[in-house]
Structures are given as structure tokens and as C-alpha cells.
Structure 1
């Protein structure tokens, strides 16, 4: 059974309570629709049908369905709009620009001349020592995760 949040706009779309939603796909696990203000035409969002606020709350079984649907919908967007490229964006938390706290994946078709612009900084100035320290921290977290499986 899918859970929902009565205050969540994406749960409204999942429950077909938003008459303005431009839905393009639905199955027993996900719903895909256009955002109200698309970055480019063809911009599609994929959400799990159950209310999941972010990736840290995403059950692994749900993640498998979401990933499969994302790959299939990426192919559909490619066939429909013939982009030069595609960004797949999934943000978590306000600092990462998440504004609706129902996990969602953006499929953003891209063209060299679109208004999106680059999504990465041109360069960074992290020291080799800082990168090595971060590598050690993430490796340790991965070991701990594996030990808890």
C-alpha cells in the first residue's frame, strides 16, 4: 500500500487530485509528469507513488522500480524530443535545491543552445590532501554500510 502526505503536491498528482497536472506515464510504482515551470520543453519528472521525502528515506525495492522507470522514460523523452543530451537530476534537501519534499527525478532534455547553462563549476580549488581525506571518510562510511548489511 502506498503512503501519501495530504500536504504534498506530488501526492496530489499521484492521487489524480491535481487537474492541472500534465501526466505522461503511470504504473503501479511511479507517476511521470511535466513540472509546472519546465526548464525546457520535454522536461519530465518521475516520482514514486508512495510518499518518500528524499533519497535517504527511499526503500531499496522502491528504488529499483524508480530506476527502471527512469531509464525507460529517458528513452521515451529521447524518442519524443530528439535532444542533443539529457540531464538526470535528483536533489535532496534545501541546500541541494529540493523544493518539494517528495523524492523526484528530473529528466531534462538538453541542447547546446538551451537556457539551462552548465550545472557544474568550471573549476574548484580543493587541495590534494582535502580530496584524500574525503576519499578516506567516504570509503570508511562504505565499509560500515557493508558491515551492517
Structure 2
């Protein structure tokens, strides 16, 4: 699908914009549910890409699901960190930004190594491997990771 890169990115970008809108409209009432849904959408997309990447129509579906799952992630993470950080939310936000940037570096290095050793088909499997612990944390972190918001507790 090398000749379709522009269309694949357009689908991803459009789906990400929809995700940003959905997250913005519902984040105050459904932060944890949106975070779980985002994680699951990216996991489904990665699974489709890992198994069925040779079918162009399914690649477009997977990319749309990935965009829907990924688009609102920065807003979800910042809100969750601010809520969980409480009185030290500013420090928690600074840590989030630092970890986000470190993850980008780590992802680039790891992606280069995976590409060199196993080829591009390894990317989706690596994402799935990373998403399993993420999903576990999001599901079990109800109290500490997603505390009741002060403004909604009244």
C-alpha cells in the first residue's frame, strides 16, 4: 500500500479529529471509560494490522480505529494525571510531559531496532505487547488512577 500513504494518513487524521471531539464532549463524565475504550480501539487496530495487513480495506479500517483510539489520548492522560495528582498536579503534569517525550525517544529507537531485525510487520505485535499491561493498569486503577473528581463529588 506504499502508493496509498496519503490516504491512510488522511483516514487516521480524520478519525483522530473525531476522537478529539468525542473526548472533549465526554471527558468530564467518562474519563476512565474513554481511556479503556481508547486502549481497546488501538489494540483492535493493532490486531487487525498484525493479522490482516495484506488486505487494503482492512488496513483502512484498522487505521480509522487507531485514530479513534489515539486522537484523544493526550487529553485523557493530562486530565487523569491532573485529577490523580491532586495538590501536586503541576509536578505530575511535568512528569507526564517528560515521560511522554522519553516514550517518543524509546519508541523511535525500539522501532528502528524492530524494523532492522524483524521488518515492519513486527510493529503491530510490539504495540499489542505494550497495550496489554496498559489495559490492565487502566482497568485496575479505578481508585488511584481515576479518583472521583472534586468538582463532581458534591
TM range (shorter): under 0.3
Greater relative contact order (Cα 8 A, min sep 6): structure 1 or 2?
2
Higher helix share: 2
What TM-score do the two structures reach when normalised by structure 2? Answer: 0.26
TM-score by length of 1: 0.27
